[in-house]
Structure 1
Amino acid sequence: MYTTNRASPAQVCVVRVPDRRAPVVRDVVRAWRRLTGEGAPRTVVACSGGADSVALLLSLASVTRDLVVVYIRHDMRDAAIVEAECRRVADLADALGLHFESGEAPTDRGNLEAQARAGRYAALADSARNCAAPFVATGHHADDQLETMVMGLLRGSGPAGLSGVAECRLIDDRADEVRLIRPLLGIRRADTEALCAEAGWIPCEDETNAGTTRLRSLLRHGVLRELGAAHPDGAVHAARAAAAMHDIDGLLAEVADQL
């Protein structure tokens, strides 16, 4: 059990780091080690305070302290809520004995969601370079991957679109090659929520994900929720299919280059 000494007694953050032998933790750590290679290199963990990113953070914290916790502020949301979340994540990092930073992802006009995503990755890349971390880990999980695949299917995508988000890729085109990794792609959303509950962490909730005006939110709260109830492991199976589609897309690209 870890307790922060930064907060007042009424605000003390108490969290239980999970047993590294627990199945979900073991799978997350195994994926992280496979993606980062030997030596457990320093890793930036993007943490919003939500169940997915906190589950990622707690899992990695069970085996290493060479982590940097980064919270990214978005101006698309209420400033008071964002600051409260940022303080909670900072207290969590402090309780775990980890370095904490926060960054900004400003938006202007146009596609705000795309701007926020690009700004978030740019801020995470900056944090990684500032602390000499070659990897940035995010909490995208199997349910996120299924949503991305279904969105690609609805748009008539080919193998590239149906492969979902990459498990590992360069975060930008800079020469030092900071890599974005997603160790939770084989883990269900329900597993991240259960891990947080066991640790005593009440996840932060992004209110922008609650509506059904965006396609992803509509899928998440509608048909995919019903499918998940009927087929609890469907998202994990879909994540495997996405990985296979990624390999197929790579093979097609190699063949095309040889023509």
Structure 2
Amino acid sequence: MSAVRAIEPISRGEFSKMLRRARPPPGWGKSIAVANSGGPDSTCLLYLLHEYFSSDGTPPGNQRNDSTSNSHQKANPRIVSLTVDHGLQSSSADMAARTARFAESLGVEHSTTKIPWGEGVFPPLPAPGAPFEETARRARYRTLFDEMTRLQANALAAGHHLDDQVETGLMRLRLGSSMLGASGMRYCRRWGMGNVIGGLDWAGVEGMRRWIVRPFLGVSKDRILATCEANRLEYVVDKTNFQPEVTLRNAVRHVVKYGKESAQNFPPKLLQDIETIDTALENLPNFDGNLNSGPERLRAFVQEMGREVEAIEKEVDEITHKGRLPSPIGTFLISKEALEGIKDKPLVQRALVLRILRYVSPNPWGSLRAQAKRRSARLEELARCLTTPMSALSKPFSMSSQVLWKPVLKRPKIVKGKSKGKVPAGWIASRQPPDLQNAWGVADRDITEPLLQALEARESEGDGGALDILFDCRFRIRIHLDAIPQAVIDALAAGITNLSIRCDKELYYPSVVLRTPKNELVLNPADNPTPKFPEGIAFAKPVDWVSIEFIRTLGNI
């Protein structure tokens, strides 16, 4: 008779490794926000984060030198517990109150926010009986983002674990995802701009400097429960999570645990989705199993896929570093040799294409529209076009994400005094020309009014500050309020002049233009490229109160 293996709680040493893996590239910052629903996952995460960072922060096995001056020790980030009361269940207010009490018992700062249904960008409260899962999820994340931004938290920590990872991977298989998508969530990712400008999930510039981290992605639910039990942590249980007929995620969770036969009485749509997932799983070349394989095998499979995806992303990192040729700001020129080196690596091709599209596209960074909607057929066709041997006759093309691909030719070295003409160098990806609304690019954007409003707010708040404007989802234009000459402020306030943003006609690079009764002056910083505008526009001396930055990142997170 075999002994039952005891389920061990998460140790401090293990949690330290989890945090290192989930750490954002710029570090933890001054504050870490924790998405606290009051369930076992977030309760455990809040407890472990508090325990870890309330100590001296020295990782296990490392002894701190007591002779070291305290002035050289970095302060640990403060932990802030965030709870969203969605108001969709009669028990939601009680659950929120219990999360607050638990956070306070730890001595952790806590904030509970109600979703303001029907106000601003938030949709009306879903009617009783209406599907609300997706709407509630988006509203909850928007509320969490607003709160973490208000509290100046660099990252939001979420309690998603390995079993959540399995469910996410299986649900993505239903949509036809490749291994890149089916590997699930990342330990750390940039929040991103959102999907629709001004919409419910819009984060804009702030979304490019905030992170969401998931330290528990490598541990199963039972380890989290064991940790709660070992530390006598009280948590609430959302009963709807155990109703498989309510959502697809619940249904997948049920089938993974009890097998496909347990889905026979599911509603027809859910049963069809389960069949689709099972078929996709059986068709995977690197997995010999299906939904009846059990939690352990599915966990191992998803973790193995995650490791393979990490290897692919590292290879893409190397390609984008070594295979990139010099090109203008906001473009990406990939060498012919780099593309030839991956002609037999379809997953690397796909990952590279996604990375470049996301970097160059004027669609919000991180959105599906900036990544060809991650449609396999389109990405495969795009990769095929780029890896097909180039020639001097290769033509420009555009397939998706408003990105234009052009062949770049170069003159070869002259051999014995004879030139053989131009030969292919690679492909350059750039922003596809928009629907032109004037002769030289997108319409001018007047920023006089928002600038005057920012100046008025500065007077009342008493600090210098800056006005940040996101342009074309690619550039951040910053006006440094305390550095604007008073004469310019007076002229703007009197309506004598105005300030606008204008694009050049080639690469759609923005410039700030000051219109006066006599002329127009381009007020670009000294280190910015000279835009191509029609004759007649003047260029002022470089100014220090305007800065323009390309804010899209080429990194995999």
Work out whether the TM-score is over 0.5: yes
1:168–1:180 CA contact under 8 A, matched in 2: yes
Structure 1 residues 76 and 161, CA, compared in 2 at 3 Å: closer, same or farther? farther
1:171–1:180 CA contact under 8 A, matched in 2: yes
| 2:42 alignment counterpart | 53
- Counterparts of 2:180 and 2:294 in 1: how far apart (Å)? 28
**Is 2:168 aligned against 1:158?**
no
How much does 1:232 deviate? 4.0
| 2:86 alignment counterpart | 74
Structure with the higher helix share, 1 or 2: 1
What is the CA deviation profile of residues 66-105 of structure 1, one whole-angstrom value per residue up to 9, with x for unaligned ones?
1000111123222xx1122112111111111111001234
How much does 1:135 deviate? 0.3
Which residue type is aligned with residue 32 of structure 2? T
Which residue type is aligned with residue 254 of structure 1? L
Which residue type is aligned with residue 70 of structure 1? L
Q: Which of 242, 250, 264 is residue 217 of structure 1 equivalent to?
A: 250
**Greater C-alpha radius of gyration:** 2
Which residue type is aligned with residue 205 of structure 2? A
Unmatched 5+ stretches in structure 2: 1-8, 55-77, 118-124, 194-203, 260-290, 317-347, 357-382, 387-557
Q: Which of 218, 223, 235 is residue 191 of structure 1 equivalent to?
A: 223
Alignment of 1:2-151 (within 5 A): 23-34=10-21, 35-36=23-24, 40-41=28-29, 42-65=31-54, 66-78=78-90, 81-105=91-115, 106=117, 107-108=125-126, 112-151=132-171
1:187–1:236 CA contact under 8 A, matched in 2: no
SS at match of 1:63: helix
RMSD: 2.8
Moved more, 233-242 or 160-169: 233-242
How much does 1:29 deviate? 3.2
2:256–2:294 CA contact under 8 A, matched in 1: no
How much does 1:187 deviate? 1.1
Which residue type is aligned with residue 306 of structure 2? A
Which residue type is aligned with residue 224 of structure 1? K
| 2:205 alignment counterpart | 175
How much does 1:200 deviate? 1.1
Structure 1 residues 161 and 255, CA, compared in 2 at 3 Å: closer, same or farther? closer
2:15–2:48 CA contact under 8 A, matched in 1: yes
How much does 1:223 deviate? 3.0
2:179–2:305 CA contact under 8 A, matched in 1: no
Which residue type is aligned with residue 74 of structure 1? H
- Counterparts of 1:113 and 1:191 in 2: how far apart (Å)? 27
Alignment of 1:201-216 (within 5 A): 201-213=233-245, 214-216=247-249
**Alignment length (residue pairs):** 236
SS at match of 1:169: strand
- Counterparts of 1:96 and 1:126 in 2: how far apart (Å)? 24
Structure 1 residues 156 and 225, CA, compared in 2 at 3 Å: closer, same or farther? same
1:74–1:116 CA contact under 8 A, matched in 2: yes
Structure 1 residues 53 and 89, CA, compared in 2 at 3 Å: closer, same or farther? same
How much does 1:28 deviate? 3.0
What is the CA deviation profile of residues 193-233 of structure 1, one whole-angstrom value per residue up to 9, with x for unaligned ones?
11111111232111221211122111212333558995547
How much does 1:138 deviate? 0.4
* TM-score normalised by L of structure 2: 0.39
Structure 1 residues 146 and 58, CA, compared in 2 at 3 Å: closer, same or farther? same
Moved more, 98-107 or 218-227: 218-227
1:43–1:68 CA contact under 8 A, matched in 2: yes
SS at match of 2:217: coil
